[in-house]
Amino acid sequence: MEVIRDLGACPEQLASVPGTVVTIGAYDGVHRGHRALIGVVTDRARELGVHTALVTFDRHPATVVRPESAPKLLTDTAQKLELLAETGLDWVVVVHFDETRARESPEDFVQEVLVGCLRARSVVVGEDFHFGRERRGNVALLRRLGTDLGFDVMAVGLVVVPGLDEPVSSTAIRNALLRGDVTTASRLLGRPYEVRGPVEVGDRRGGPELGYPTANVAVPTEILVPGDGIFAGWYGRGAGAAFPAAISIGRRPTFYESGPRLLEAHLLDFDGDLYGEEARVRFVSKLRDEERFESAEALVAQMEKDVEAARAALRS
């Protein structure tokens, strides 16, 4: 997969490309709905004998258009590109999104990016797709523009996962995660939810005092961390192996009235130094809500049960 971050580089990089089938969007999470769209792109490109392409942005457009209510992200740009690379796309264009881009008309965006850069022969989007200034661009406008500019438009319906009440969307995934429902989030994503961050020094209470050392993972503030609770999951060390883990998210109410919200992972059957490394934490299931215990001894007794529950959950 080739990544283009500079639209000015398009003419040279795509000089030999016969045309593309393109999809556009924030693609936050690269969930099952996104992958269904990319599947349609791939099939259509095969029919036309052209390349596949996806246009996304270097930040969520809402952070510029309505920063006061912008959602937390499911993936940063680096993780999003990793997930997109797994789909077999030929090209991904990462457009810098700022106030100038937010004011751009949908007609100008289509002319510059879809036609000028990617020489689109077909455009694939969701039925409810909107873009451009004041979200004026939609499927109907794309079809009118395509008639003059030489591309057709395919609108794809929302994906529904059997047994779930609402279609797949980044919003539905965020809502599930905020409830701590990582199981539903995983079903909507098509994989366990993952957060990343460096391991920082905490208050060093877990090992010496409680007997359960934890990695304090500093997740970037723009990334969504699931709601408070105790979870079973996996701790990935860089590009290396993943270790089973019992994961705590919360404010440690047994010790603090109002402490900072932390993500701490206890690696099962592991003994080593994790400080400073980049961690990847994947959530498999929620074990229980966060609780305040009357003593450290009572907490340790529960932590022992949590470790065994995590071990059982990850075996199943």
Catalytically annotated residues: 264
Encoded tokens for 220: 């970037």
The full DSSP string for 3-60 is: EE--GGGHHHHTTT---EEEEES--TT--HHHHHHHHHHHHHHHHHT-EEEEEEESS-
CA quadruple 186, 192, 197, 199: dihedral, nearest 10: 120
Residue 131, SS3?
A: strand
Q: Where are the beta strands (DSSP E) in the chain?
A: 2-4, 20-24, 51-57, 91-95, 120-126, 152-156, 193-200, 215-217, 229-237, 242-250, 262-267, 278-288
Cβ atoms of residues 172 and 71 within 8 Å: no
Structural tokens at position 51: 């390349």
Distance, C-alpha 60 to centroid of its chain: 11
Strands 215-217 and 262-267: antiparallel
- The two tokens of residue 134 are 């004041």
Length of the chain: 316
Smallest CA-to-CA distance from 92 within 118, 70, 115 is with 118
Nearest CA to 302 among 248, 223, 265, 239? 248
**282 to 143, 173, 181, 231, 295: CA distances (angstroms):** 40, 15, 13, 10, 30
